Amino acid sequence: MSNIARAKAFHGGASFEFIGSRFDDLSRINKCINADVLDAWFDPSPMVVATIREHLPWILRTSPPTHCEGLLEVLAEGLDVSTSNLLVGAGSSNLIFLAMQRLLGAHSKALTLDPTYGEYLHVFEQVIGCEYIRAPLQYEPHGAYSLNIQGLIDTIKKERPDVVVLVNPNSPTGTFIKKMDLENLHKAIPEETLLWVDETYIDYADGSQSLVAYAAENKNIIVCKSLSKIYGLSGARSAYLCSSREVIDRLAPFSPPWAVSLPAQIATIAAVQDLNYYSERYKETHSYREILAAGLRQMGFKVHNSVANFLLIEIPEESGVASDFVQRCRRFGLYLRDISSMGRNVNKYMVRIAVKDSVTVGRIIAIIKEVLASMRETSACKSHEKQNERRPQIFQ
């Protein structure tokens, strides 16, 4: 088996090393904090839970609608597009793998922001084996990444890639591009270039900025949307692509029957019918994110601006590096994401952290405070040892 065949994209989820991937003792889930992945901190809507609980035995033993007909209808109604504009799958990764392998080949060229969600780089490099270009986001010393839209347009016109991938809001940076700017970018780039916009976290920012309706009317743009993160359904796996009928018709034959499980279909339909519940959770997320950011800044962290359910932070340089910080946090049951695998346009002090509920945010701040103190103590000891090594030795 080749190295490419064995390669896997890294996503975090290291807390299963503690919980156990065979799930022998699920009581351990309360003894760790999985802030290295961006699962929702909140439970699914009570409507979702009640529906699944009431009919669970039947749901588990029954095959789902073969082509997700009801799910497609409900999504189309909510998005104000046609079912012919949608393709659903078991999470966005499922759809990324399915679509990119049909749209691109080894001869193709892709462009992504840097840093960004590592799944795309993995698919381009390890699965398809095509050329890809990294378009660096601009790093601002005060603690933020920004995107120069005109600069990106110029790069696209020069390089003429087959596909441009923009995650919006972008992970891990939290950078957000407004709808008007994306529409203008789409109109400015070559017609043969496909614009792929990943809107997994857009509801945390502003769902009205979605390009779904725009994508349905244009053949060279696809919106990819995970429904797992925003509806508390990461374990169920649910997502969709939205584009012109021409694009969806090209991809649909490669989607297998029963692409989305029955639990996921039922849960997603119930979630879409309880948007008020989720809207309140998004507001709470902003509040908890600010509490977390304030606590980290007080400890000397540089905290990047974010509109989503995560923060990109930088460890105080005198305390050590991200890889050491992440490992030390794990000893306390706190799992964070070292973002070194998410791009080259990063530094060794950067860590991504998911926003959790208020109680868990308090636990996170307390753990990090203890870890930071131990790192500074270790750094001071090493500095002292080096000073002693430089002193001349006096022999009696």
CA distances from 324 to 31, 350, 368 (A): 21, 11, 12
The pLDDT tens digits of the residues spanning 166-176 come to 999 999 999 99
* Strand partners for 174: none
Superfamily of domain 13-42+276-380: Aspartate Aminotransferase, domain 1 (3.90.1150.10)
Burial class (CB in 10 A: 0-12, 13-18, 19+), 333: middle
Mean pLDDT score, 25-44: 93
Task: Report the pLDDT value the prediction gives residue 8, as an integer from 0 to 100.
Answer: 64
65: tokens are 């609608």
Question: What is the model's pLDDT at position 347?
Answer: 93
Asked whether the beta carbons of 298 and 291 are under 8 A apart, the reply is no
Question: Tell me, what's the pLDDT at 393?
Answer: 42
Specify the pLDDT at position 80: 97
Q: What is the model's pLDDT at position 142? A: 73
Average pLDDT, the chain: 92
Name the residue ranges covered by the structural domains of the chain. 13-42+276-380, 46-273
Q: Pick the closest to residue 352 from 320, 315, 298 (CA basis).
A: 315
pLDDT at 70 over 70: yes
Pairing of strands 109-114, 163-167: parallel
- Residue predicted with more confidence, 256 or 8: 256
277, 47 Cβ separation under 8 angstroms: yes
pLDDT digits (tens, 9 = 90+) for 122-139: 999 999 999 999 999 999
Taking alpha carbons only, the member of 350, 371, 367, 369 closest to residue 359 is 367
86 has a pLDDT exceeding 60: yes
- Which residues are paired to 78 by β-bridges? none
The region that residue 9 occupies, defined by phi over 0 for left and psi between -120 and 50 for alpha, beta otherwise, is beta
Q: Report in angstroms the alpha-carbon separations of 318 from 292, 297, 346.
A: 21, 15, 18
Residues 354, 311: Cα–Cα separation, whole Å: 6
Closest by Cα among 391, 387, 312 to 352:
312
SS3 string, the chain, reads CCHHHHCCCCCCCCCHHHHCCCCCCHHHHHHCEECCCCCCCCCCCHHHHHHHHHCHHHHHHCCCCCCCHHHHHHHHHHHCCCHHHEEEECCHHHHHHHHHHHHCCCCCEEEEEECCCHHHHHHHHHHHCCEEEEEECEEECCCEEECCHHHHHHHHHHHCCCEEEEECCCCCCCCCCCHHHHHHHHHHCCCCCEEEEECCCHHHHCHHHCCHHHHHCCCCEEEEEECCCCCCCCCCCCEEEECCHHHHHHHHHHCCCCCCCHHHHHHHHHHHCCHHHHHHHHHHHHHHHHHHHHHHHHCCCEECCCCCCEEEEECCHHHCCHHHHHHHHHCCCEECEEHHHHCCCCCCCEEEEECCCHHHHHHHHHHHHHHHHHHHHHHHHHHHHHHHHHCCCCCC
- pLDDT tens profile 280-293: 999 999 999 999 99
Confidence check: pLDDT of 5 > 60: no
> Which residue has 């509920």 as its token pair?
357
Q: Find all residues with CB under 8 Å of 233, minimum gap 6, and list them.
A: 44, 48, 227, 264, 267, 268, 271
Are 204 and 308 in contact by the 8 Å Cβ rule? The answer is yes
| pLDDT tens sequence across 280-336 | 999 999 999 999 999 999 999 999 999 999 999 999 988 889 999 999 999 999 999
Residue with tokens 């009581």: 27
> pLDDT tens digits for 190-228?
999 999 999 999 999 999 999 999 999 998 999 999 999
* Topology of the domain covering 46-273: Aspartate Aminotransferase; domain 2 (3.40.640)
Phi, then psi, of 33 in degrees rounded to 5:
-125, 115
The pLDDT value given to residue 396: 32
Residue 389 has pLDDT above 70, yes or no: no
